[in-house]
Amino acid sequence: MDLVAIGTIGYDSIETPTGKADKQLGGTAVYLCLAASYFCKVGMVAASGKDFLQEHLDLLTGKGVDLEGVQHLAGDTFHWGAKYHQDLNVRDTLFTHLNVLLDFTADLPPAYREAPFYFLGNIDPALQMHVIEQAKNPVFIGMDTMNYWINSEKYRPNLMRVLEKTQGIFVNDEEARDLSGEYNLVKAANEIRKMGPEHIVIKKGEHGAMLFSEGDIFYAPAFPLEVVHDPTGAGDSFAGGFMGYLTTQKRINNKVLREAMIYGSALASYTVEDYSVNRVASLENQHVDKRYQEFSNLMSFGK
Amino acid sequence: MDLVAIGTIGYDSIETPTGKADKQLGGTAVYLCLAASYFCKVGMVAASGKDFLQEHLDLLTGKGVDLEGVQHLAGDTFHWGAKYHQDLNVRDTLFTHLNVLLDFTADLPPAYREAPFYFLGNIDPALQMHVIEQAKNPVFIGMDTMNYWINSEKYRPNLMRVLEKTQGIFVNDEEARDLSGEYNLVKAANEIRKMGPEHIVIKKGEHGAMLFSEGDIFYAPAFPLEVVHDPTGAGDSFAGGFMGYLTTQKRINNKVLREAMIYGSALASYTVEDYSVNRVASLENQHVDKRYQEFSNLMSFGK
């Protein structure tokens, strides 16, 4: 196992300015693993409910995702509803039915404990910490989180303990501001680095993503698309592509991390082209390489 | 004369989250010409009032800006007041005293009519058109505009005539949407291209700027700064740097336009580091080159 990704399996009911889709396959772990599957052997740690369809399990295994870490529980699958504004960076959550997530324990199968790379999707920091404690010899632990955990007196202490153990954090601009107490993103990244992770990725939706490492900043734009159908999963696809690419490299340095930013952006850009996982689950490796090259065209200048 | 820039000379009263500055030198033509002065001989077409200080005329001539095109009128200088939000992309205009702008005619001195490059700052489209009509053999005309002209039944017909005559337009994302009727920026650029300009630059403030040419898109991020004191003039400094760089090139092609985007971004990034023109008026050429190289570091990846 190259990479272990923990997060949610879910059914999403989404409305965007271009249409709506009810009870579609979603969840952070699903997007993470599908995106990473183009690069490496990835194992999923998540919980599914009794209503979770066999065809969706088949879709994941068909992409080479290892499902040994999935807990199949008796309740219903996590179900989330949201409506996006015309500015697709803004959405309103309509409902969140946690369902089987309440019984999810995030225990790792033995084979997963030997993995070198981990990604902790946005979930209760206590579960993120539990994964870290089971990892025997991690090389790079990436994490996501959200304002719900950041701004909670109850959860924040655990979150800070998780941060200390990670090498990379992926948050959006608002989360970076809440976590650091700094509005300016350069200052925010510097503050977050003091909390543990050496590498801070700040995701800005349609405005791209920035990587802040010690003494180094890299900017990856979002890919300019004529139609964005559904931004759901873009951030997790980004992280999956990023982490997946890292696993293919002997050494992690600024050059590799910059390339990982572009692969992450490539996967995210495909995800938003269609609803649910339709696009990110149906790519060939050549599509990923093509988009990487398109990013090079988008960003290159000078001699 | 390499470049002629038309716009305003103004005094700005500005409040930002980091401080305030009253009746400081500003105006679109001032920022345009100061930024362009690092690249070429630029002539200013604008109107100043009786209260305009000699030291500010001296500052401009000291940077090599030609002021033969400035009309010195009897009233007060244009005076604008604004307050920026913590999100520096958003500002409220507190007052606009047009003053001498009401008598500004935008007549070009004979030497200006031979110039190859023109930039039409954000001003009444009738005045922009008047400049175009005086230009004898223009190679590249760039323009800015704003929602006030775009959304007005009175002014829009003139604006459309100006657009037909220009090679490049520089607008922010909101203006691009209003002008085109398209929310998506790729589609907006395609619609605007049909109105005349081959090259559409969409400025996104702290999120950078995009260049849309036929079959080619280039993304330039905003330079990540720890402190932004005053965003006023960033867009005009961008345009001034962009146009100034174009004048130094034998041919205008995608490669040159991309470099111009970076020089524009470099000048804009310096402008916002301090209030008014303090920073953009005090640079050396080596600072401009240094920032260009820093942009290369910020954006490069791969082999």
Q: What is the pLDDT of residues A9-43, one digit of tens each?
A: 999 999 999 999 999 999 999 999 999 999 999 99
Q: Chain A residue closest to B225 (CA)? A: A186
**pLDDT attached to residue B174:** 96
Give pLDDT, residue A221.
98
Q: Report d(CA B126, CA B157) in Å as an integer.
A: 10
Residues A141-153 have pLDDT tens digits of 999 999 999 999 9
Chain A contact for B298 (CB, 8 A cutoff): yes
**What is residue A71's predicted lDDT score, i.e. its pLDDT?**
98
Is the separation of the CB atoms in B161 and B125 below 8 Å?
yes
**Residue B208 forms contact with A (CB below 8 Å):** yes
Q: Which two tokens stand for residue A199?
A: 């590498």
- Rounded-to-integer distance, Cα B5 and Cα B69, Å: 9
CA angle A168, A170, A175 (to 5 degrees): 125
What is the Cα–Cα distance from B28 to B144, expressed in whole angstroms?
10
Question: How far is residue B66's CA from residue B163's CA, in Å, rounded to a whole number?
Answer: 26
Measured between CA atoms, how close is A58 to chain B, in angstroms?
A: 35
Does A82 have pLDDT greater than 90? yes
Tell me how far apart the alpha carbons of residues A36 and A167 are, in angstroms, rounded to a whole number: 18
CA torsion angle B140 B141 B144 B145 (round to 10): -140
A53 touches chain B (CB under 8 A): no
What is the bridge-based pairing of β-strands A199-203 and A209-213? antiparallel
Gap between the Cα atoms of A199 and A167, Å rounded = 6
Q: Which residues of chain B have pLDDT under 50?
A: none
Helical packing angle, A254-271 and A234-247, nearest 10°: 140
Tokens coding B155: 């002014």
Cα distance between residue B127 and residue B145, in whole Å: 12
- pLDDT of A213 reads 97
The verdict on B259 touching A (C-beta cutoff 8 Å) is yes
Provide the mean pLDDT of chain A: 97
Which pLDDT score is estimated for B235? 97
| A199 phi/psi in degrees, rounded to 5 | -120, 125
ipTM, two decimals, is 0.94
What is d(CA B142, CA B163) in angstroms, rounded to the nearest whole number?
A: 9
What angle do helix axes A156-164 and A125-134 make, rounded to 10 degrees? Answer: 30
Scanning every residue of chain A, which has its alpha carbon at the shortest distance from the alpha carbon of B85? Answer: A183
Q: What is the CATH number of domain A3-298?
A: 3.40.1190.20
Q: Which CATH architecture has domain B3-299?
A: 3-Layer(aba) Sandwich (3.40)
Is the Cβ pair B86, A204 closer than 8 Å? no
